[in-house]
Structure formats: C-alpha cells, structure tokens
Structure 1
C-alpha cells in the first residue's frame, strides 16, 4: 500500500510517499479499514517536527483521523461487517501507524459508523476536533444551558465545532476571529458575538456582552498569551479550559475569581493506554454522528490534498489562518 512515512523529525520535506505492507488485524477485535480520507491536525505537524509522542520508533505514519470502509475483521468483531463505512480517531502518534495511508487497523471500540450525511472527506476531518471540543465543554467545563461561553479561534478546526456544540448545549456563544469573512462564518455556525481580536479589545468586548459579569466558560484553542488574557474576562467561579500548554502564567487573579482551570488533551487515552477512555471517546463520536445526521452539526473542510502532497498540506496548516480543516483525499474517496 502507499503510505506517507516520516523517517526522522524535521520540516514537511521529511514526509515521503513509500510502499508498506498492508497491515493485518492482530487481535480478535481489530478492524482493517481501507481509507478513503485522512484528516490533518496541528498535532501531526508537531510530531513531524519534534518526533513521535509514543517513542517506540523514530519512523512513523502520521494522521490520527481516518474514514473509510471495512475490509477485514478479527474473529471477535461483532459491530461491523466488510463494506461498512466508518470514521475514527486513532494512531499516528508513533507505535501503531496512522492514517496517512491506504489502509489502517483499529480496534472496533474506537471506530463508529460514518454519518450518512457526511462524505468520507468530511468524516475524516472531524473526529479529533469533535472529541476535543466535546471533552473540553462537557467533560472539563461541564457546560450548562444559558451559560455564556467564549471560544477562542472560532473559525479554526476545533473552534468551529466547539461553537456548534456549545449552542446545542443551550449556551450563548462569543468567539474571537480575524476579519469580517470569518465573522460571517462563525455567525452562520451559531455564534452570537464575533470579536475581531485584531481590531477590538477583548476585555471591553466581553464586559459589554456580559454586562460586566464575565463569561461562565472560556475555551482556549490558541495558546499561552490568549490563555493569560482570558483570566480577566472570566466570571467568578467560571471554567477556563485550554488545549495547549498554558506556559508560565500568573494565577493570582484566577485564584481571586475561584476559577476552575482544566487542560484538555484528547490523545491521553492513547498515550496512557486507557481502553475505557477510548470507548468513551467512541461514544462521543457516535453522538456527534447523530447530530450530523440530524442536520444540527456540520464540518467545514477548507481544502483537500492528494496523499502524495501531505508535505504541502502541512505547509498550508503551519502558515496559519485556516478556516475549517485540511484533508488528504485518497483515490477511493467518493462520498
């Protein structure tokens, strides 16, 4: 099979198309998937640059997100049959190879039936960001109806689904964007207030929006500087969640406000070998699939690249300013 192999850390040029053996189910619960598309996420570019997160090998096939059709089954698989369309987030961290390839093997508990309303490309774009946003809002922040929620980077991969999930939970949503085009995009997703961080003062905008109270929940998808600034726009007893390392941040004001601060890394169940947590993430994906098929949740794909152009896709992602997701589309991708 064709696959994109990283033999050493470095720039996008280290991603090389090569021929690898088609993997086979190794355990009774394994499913062999013929991939139609593979999602591209910032974690892929970080692993490419710094090396695998699971240091079992220096070589790696990247890509956590995949969508395709079932080709073969382990003896104990009961949830799928050959020809079923599936989507999932698994692999790509080192050790088990990821989804920048024509085939991949995953445990049946991780895979879920692909939503009928999504193409394979859309489905491959979604699992990591959906699970991340769901865990951040529901598992970490414990979002409730009528709360005010600030989502940083609302036009990005995680941000654009987080807006929708927060709205579906009954919350009022504000989000930060750059420029009027992205503001229009996030309003279409259900954001009540779009703050152009290049033109507007965040603290003043949130004070106006909340009547000086601050937001109940803030979800940071950007990084340390934004995380630090977010403390001053939080309501007392609020929840501040970040998906990135917050760095060295003074927390005196966070303590004064009695904030609950949470870190979200949806890759933890893979990194720590936690099968029950992986099953929970599979359930999250199943519920999100139902929302997609009900027309209540949509996935924005900015662009697609052929498998051989994975390096170009990484360059595009690292350039920043993305609206939605990038996806590697394999020849079988037909919706």
Structure 2
C-alpha cells in the first residue's frame, strides 16, 4: 500500500515521505479500513515535529482521524462488516498505522459507522475535534440541556463542534471569534450570539444577551481567563483543551465562586469517557446536526505541505484525499 511515514521527529519536509508498505493484516480486535480521507489535527504535526515526546516505533503513519470503508476485520470484532463506511479517531495513538495511507489498521473501538448522508469529508473532520468538544461540554447532552455555554474560538474545529453539539442538546450558545469571516462560520454552526473578542465590552454584551454562563469551552485559557470569570455563574465550569505554559490562577476567586476547572486532553480519557463522547457525537451525526468545516484538500503525495498548512492555523480543516492517489 501507499503510505506517508516518518521514522524520526523533525521538520515535515525532512522526515515525511510517501512509500510503499506491505498492506497490514488486522489482528484480534482490529479492523482494516480502506482510507478515503485523512483529517489532520494540530496534535498530528506536533507529534511529528517532536513536541509531544513520542518517538516512532520504527516508522509511523501519521494522523488520527479519517473516513473510509471497512476492508477486513480481525477475530472477535462485532458490529463492523466489510464494505461498511466508517469514521476513525485516535488511529495513530499507540499504533503505527494512522490514516495517512491507503489502508489503516485500527482497534475496533476507534472505528465508528458513518451514516449514508454524511460525507467522507465530514467523517474525517470528526474524531479528535468533535470528541474533545463533547467531553468539554460534559460528555452527555443532559449536561448542557437548557443551559448557556460560551465557546471561545467558535470558528476552530473544536469550537465548531462544541457549538453544534451544544445546540443539538438544547443549550443556548455564545461564541467568541477574532474576525468577521470567523463570525460567519460560528453563526452557520448555530451560535445564538457571536462576539469578536477584539471588540469592547465583550463581557457586558455576553451578560446582557445570555446572563450568567454555565460552562465555558476554552481554547486560550490564560488569555481569556478574565473574560471567563466575568461571565461565569457561581458553580460554573471552565473546560480548557489548549492550555499551555505557566498559568497564574486567582485561586481565591475560584474557591469563592465554586468554579470547576477541567483540563481536557483526549489521550488521557478513560474508555468510558471516550465511549460517552463517541455516543453523543454519533447521535448528533445521525440526526444531521453536525457539519464539516470548510475543507482544504491535499493529495497524499503532498502530506508535508498539508501538515505545514495545519501548523499555520488556517480557517477550515485540512485533509488528505487518499482515494485515487
């Protein structure tokens, strides 16, 4: 099979190459998927660049997310059959065969049926972003039903699905963005109010529209902490999935308001937590409540350029089109 691989961490154009590999066979509990589209997330290029400390086991086919068709199943696999359209998540986590190849071998738990009305692009856009969003929202629709949610970075991949999942669950959603183009994307996702965080009186506008916020899905915890605390109700929750560096917290304010602060990293979730996020995402997908971000497509042979595009933080979702390479 044709596959993108890297054998050591480093710059994309130095370590990524497209090679021919033996098509792997699924072992017990595994599924082989013929890939159609491979979705690329920031965690994919950061791992390849060596920023996460994970080294390849001989070689690594990158990318966690994707969509394709079940090609073969190993012993003990139930509920998945050859020819079935599916979406994948965390394919490359603890596994050398990610989705940037003509075939991927994935544990069956990370392979999810893709409804007939859902495109391959949409399937490849789910995975890490949608499951992160679902967990940040509490892991279950009832956690946000009838409540108010603030989504920071509402035009990003996690923010996009946080808006759509929360709205489908019956929440009122406020989103912050940095530009008018991103405002349009957040509005299309269903946000009830979209505010540019560069404008003045953001906290006042949010409070006037929605009152106190019950939960914040946060992309820039340090930069947005003052705004979050200004609009969050006592007993509310801030779930952040992209915090980095050193943070200084107003511990007294957190304690007085009984604020819950949750740091979310998909790799560290339990099997049960992942199952909850998959269940919620799948139900919303089946109901037609989820949509793809604007897609920026590359062929497999340009995997290095595609990863560099993701590192540049584009508006939209970068994917590899595998079929036809």
Query: TM-score scaled to structure 1, two decimals?
Result: 0.87
For residues 113-150 of structure 1, the C-alpha deviation after alignment (integer angstroms, 9 at most, x for no partner) is 11211122221111221111111102399733332211
The aligned counterpart of 1:230 is: 228
Unaligned runs of 5+ in 2: none
The aligned counterpart of 2:181 is: 181
The aligned counterpart of 1:80 is: 80
Distance of 1:293 and 1:94 partners within structure 2: 29
The aligned counterpart of 1:317 is: 310
1:52–1:60: 8 Å Cα contact kept in structure 2?
Answer: no
Q: Secondary structure at the match of 1:138?
A: coil
Deviation at 1:69, TM superposition (A): 1.1
2:91–2:110: 8 Å Cα contact kept in structure 1?
Answer: no
The aligned counterpart of 1:239 is: 237
Deviation at 1:223, TM superposition (A): 4.6
Distance of 1:166 and 1:141 partners within structure 2: 7
2:299 matched to 1:300?
no
The aligned counterpart of 1:250 is: 249
The aligned counterpart of 2:217 is: 219
1:134–1:284: 8 Å Cα contact kept in structure 2?
Answer: yes
The aligned counterpart of 2:318 is: 326
* CA 1:52–1:35: 2 relative to 1, 3 Å: farther
The aligned counterpart of 2:203 is: 203
Deviation at 1:197, TM superposition (A): 1.4
| Runs of 4+ in structure 1 over 6 Å off | none
The aligned counterpart of 1:163 is: 163
Q: Secondary structure at the match of 2:66?
A: strand
Deviation at 1:51, TM superposition (A): 5.2
Distance of 1:222 and 1:50 partners within structure 2: 22
2:17 matched to 1:16?
yes
For residues 81-138 of structure 1, the C-alpha deviation after alignment (integer angstroms, 9 at most, x for no partner) is 2211111203324543311111111222321111211122221111221111111102
Distance of 2:174 and 2:81 partners within structure 1: 43
Distance of 2:280 and 2:258 partners within structure 1: 32
2:26–2:74: 8 Å Cα contact kept in structure 1?
Answer: yes
Distance of 1:77 and 1:89 partners within structure 2: 17
Stretch of structure 1 that moved more, 96-105 or 283-292: 283-292
Aligned residues: 322
Distance of 1:23 and 1:51 partners within structure 2: 28
The aligned counterpart of 1:263 is: 263
Deviation at 1:297, TM superposition (A): 2.1
* CA 1:57–1:200: 2 relative to 1, 3 Å: farther
* CA 1:60–1:227: 2 relative to 1, 3 Å: farther
Q: Secondary structure at the match of 1:182?
A: helix
The RMSD of aligned alpha carbons is 2.4
Q: Secondary structure at the match of 2:289?
A: coil
Deviation at 1:32, TM superposition (A): 0.9
1:31–1:105: 8 Å Cα contact kept in structure 2?
Answer: yes
Distance of 1:175 and 1:234 partners within structure 2: 14
Alignment of 1:66-215 (within 5 A): 66-93=66-93, 95-139=95-139, 143-211=143-211, 214-215=212-213
